[in-house]
Amino acid sequence: MKRVAVLMVWLWPTCSITWAQQPVVAEHAMVVSAREEASAIGAEILRKGGNAFDAMVATELALAVAYPYAGNIGGGGFMVYRKADGETGALDYREKAPMGATKDMYLDDSGHVIPGLSTEGALAVGVPGTVAGVFAVHERFGKLPMQDIMAPVIALAEKGVVVTAGQEKQLSTYREAIIKISGSATGLAKVYHQGDTIRYPALANTLRRILRNGRDEFYKGETARSIAGFIQKNGGIITLEDLGRYEVRWRRPVFFDYKDLRIISMSPPSSGGITLAQIMTMIAPYPLSRYGHNSQATIQVLTEAERRAYADRNYFLGDPDFTVIPYATLLSKNYLRRRMKSFSPDKATPSSTVSHGQVTISESNETTHYSIVDQDGNAVAVTTTLNGAFGSKLYSDELGFFFNNEMDDFSAKPGEPNSYGLIGAEANSIAPQKRMLSSMTPTIVEKQGRLFMVLGTPGGSTIITSVLQVILNVREFGMNIQEAVNAPRFHHQWLPDEVLFEPGKFPQHILQSLTGKGYHVNEQSAPVIGKVDAILINSQGKREGGADCRGDDKAVGY
């Protein structure tokens, strides 16, 4: 089987020991996101009397301005919500394959995957869902007029955003890749340094047109015509009809219990909720708090559950509108306990005996997650993405934004790894109008029937295991929410058969002992695993924000 080159780019500092280990605490409401500017705009909407859904619209669009690395209007995402009255639901605004897409569109005549075709440039772009997503949220749940919500975002795009050290690194790391696809004249291809201000006048104009004409501006109006023309001129296949046909889907989230917690997470076409449910159900019988945080025994139990869950993920999961998913079996306690029967603490279970296939991992890419709780107790968890860093690297100077490369989340060929080393099966093969399988895991946790945690993260295939570890850090290991998001993480995904560890964060004797038991320890490939933004409701009902120290992330509340 073909091996994929390992390309890891260290874009985030690891957390220094001086990093705050105490959460930001707010009386009423809180937004935690990847950029302070976006959290502040979301929090301002809440302060003005908007609800969590208004703040979702504002934060999502503000991230498209302040965090073009992953924030977007050229991509898509998922929202899980829990209203103050306990009503829950989920919105799928994932991208869709264009109507001209075919199962073999990324293969050459001999049936081999053509490198780069599903990851760079116009052919990698799925029909974007973000604008439809925010309008659907606003229409169903919004309180404030769209004008009030979008005005500060448009003002931010005009005034500009100051480049952080992290953003300087992102832009310089991907400058060549952006130039290769979008040309050196493109705005974001310039050299920027920390402290510079980047203004986004073209994006401000696009947003202004969307505000004036509504959702259809992006899908049927002048903007739609510009998108279709631009994509086709660059060799892509998205048509005006594809845009016109795009629709979001309201979905029933995945629900499951872990001890005294009830967890509400994203359903297919994300694998997040089901895979998280499988892992947590498999590990529930083991006394993790007695084993200890990141102890060898804990690492083994989590790794073995992850191995079994990801094997199922890759085989069974895909767009539920196209694929029959055996939900009941995949989530059944009996089935999951049986899956763990082959686990022995003495020895790693080789992934080849859990299923078949040989692959390697994984490019470092980006997505972004934000968590919001408002003054009434409404909560939203949203993960949104362009897939790769700056998506397909295709940037429209006229419209002012990057397009996604989400098509790479499909299985271009059954058994071949995508850029996260994830291999897929028929369930996730490409078909016109189909949604590609995701790992995004926006999650809400209830305790004793009340809102307890809101969380999620970027990180491709490591999203699910990062969300898992943060919940366990709070529930099993007694951490506050800031400690829980900062704590070192590890990851396993069945294939490749290796366990990734954040480097230098785990005692060597544990890693050596794991190696002795047959685990393939890898401290090289993942300098950072996930970038979790979370809120916890404490016993006094206050909102505690945990913004991951691995990025520029920030909690803003009042």
Q: Does 366 bind ligand DON (CB under 6 A)?
A: yes
Nearer to ligand DON, 296 or 405 (CB): 405
Determine whether the annotation assigns residue 184 to a binding site.
Answer: no
Pairing verdict, β 76-82 and 379-385: antiparallel
Count CB neighbours of 197 within 10 A.
Answer: 10
Q: Kindly indicate which of the ranges 11-19, 44-52, 246-254, 363-371 contains the residues binding ligand DON, using the contact rule CB under 6 A.
A: 363-371
- With residue 281 as reference, give the H or E element that holds it: helix 272-283
497 is in an annotated binding site: no
Is 239 one of the annotated active-site residues of the chain? no
* Two tokens, residue 70: 């992953």
- Per rule CB under 6 A, is residue 439 in the interface with ligand DON? yes
**How far, in whole angstroms, is CA 358 from its chain's centroid?**
25
Q: Which is nearer to ligand DON, 378 or 439 (CB)?
A: 439
CA-based R_g, the chain, Å: 22
- Alpha-carbon distance 287 to 265, whole Å? 24
Task: For residue 512, give both structure tokens.
Answer: 């050596």
Q: Select the span of 37-45, 61-69, 184-192, 454-462 touching ligand DON (CB under 6 A).
A: 454-462
Among 36, 120, 242, 409, binds ligand DON (CB under 6 A): 409
3-state secondary structure of 299: helix
Determine phi and psi for 402, rounding to 5 degrees. Answer: -85, 150
Shortest Å, Cβ 463 to ligand DON = 6
CA torsion 463-467-469-470 (nearest 10°) is 140
Q: Is residue 459 near ligand DON by the rule CB under 6 A? A: yes
The one-letter amino acid code at 163 reads V
Q: Cβ of residue 204: shortest distance to ligand DON, in angstroms?
A: 26
Residues 64, 71 contacting (CB under 8 angstroms): yes
Stretch that binds ligand DON, among 150-158, 164-172, 203-211, 453-461 (CB under 6 A): 453-461
94 is in an annotated binding site: yes
CA distance 318 to 434: 9
Q: Which residue, 51 or 271, has its beta carbon nearer to ligand DON?
A: 271
CA-angle at 58, arms to 57 and 61, nearest 5°: 85
CB of 407 to ligand DON, least distance (A): 10
Q: Which stretch binds ligand DON (CB under 6 A): 1-9, 184-192, 433-441, 501-509?
A: 433-441
CA-nearest of 465, 498, 59, 456 to 276 is 465
Helix axes 508-516, 296-316, angle to 10 degrees: 60
Interface stretch with ligand DON, choices 30-38, 166-174, 359-367, 483-491 (CB under 6 A): 359-367
CB of 392 to ligand DON, least distance (A): 12
- Write out the binding residues for ligand DON, residues 233-262 only, by CB under 6 A: none
Helix (H), strand (E), coil (C) string for 491-527 = ECCCCCCCEEECCCCCCHHHHHHHHHCCCCEECCCCC
- 548 lines the binding site for ligand DON (CB under 6 A): no
Contact by Cβ (8 Å): 42, 33: yes
In the complex, the smallest distance separating the C-beta of residue 77 from ligand DON, rounded to whole angstroms, is 9
Rule CB under 6 A: choose which of 463, 474, 487, 500 binds ligand DON.
Answer: 463
Task: Establish whether 387 is an annotated binding residue.
Answer: yes
# of chain residues touching ligand DON (CB under 6 A) = 14
Using CB under 6 A as the binding rule, whether residue 532 contacts ligand DON is answered as no
Task: Report the C-alpha gap between 512 and 324 in whole angstroms.
Answer: 42
State yes or no: residue 365 binds ligand DON (CB under 6 A): yes
Q: Indicate which residue of 275, 367, 441, 457 is catalytic.
A: 367
Cα–Cα distance, 21 to 175 (Å, whole number): 34
| 385 scored as a contact of ligand DON (CB under 6 A) | yes
Q: How far apart (Å, rounded) are the C-alpha atoms in residues 173 and 364?
A: 11
- Does the annotation list 385 as a binding residue? yes
Residue 458 within binding range of ligand DON, rule CB under 6 A = yes
Asked if 490 contacts 299 with a C-beta cutoff of 8 angstroms, the reply is: yes
Smallest separation (angstroms) from ligand DON to the CB of 391: 10
Nearer to ligand DON, 406 or 497 (CB): 406
Instruction: Please tell me whether residue 438 binds ligand DON under the rule CB under 6 A.
Output: yes
By CB under 6 A, tell whether 499 contacts ligand DON: no
Q: How far is CA 328 from the centre of its chain?
A: 25
Instruction: Give every CB contact of residue 297 below 8 A, 6+ residues apart in sequence.
Output: 286, 291, 345
Annotated binding residue at 396?
no
Q: Name which of 351 and 438 has its Cβ closer to ligand DON.
A: 438
Contact (CB, 8 A) for 78 and 270: yes
d(CA 348, CA 356): 16
* Ligand-binding site membership of 525 (annotated): no
Scanning 142-150, 305-313, 365-373, 500-508 for contacts with ligand DON by CB under 6 A, the matching segment is 365-373
Q: Is 500 annotated as a binding residue?
A: no
Task: Please tell me whether the peptide bond between 287 and the residue prior to it is cis, using omega within 30 degrees of 0.
Answer: no
Q: Which residues bind ligand DON (CB under 6 A)?
A: 365-367, 385, 387, 406, 409, 438-440, 458-460, 463
Active-site residue list: 367
Q: Binding site for L-glutamate: residue ranges? A: 94, 385-387, 409, 438-439, 460
Q: Binding site: residue ranges? A: 94, 385-387, 409, 438-439, 460
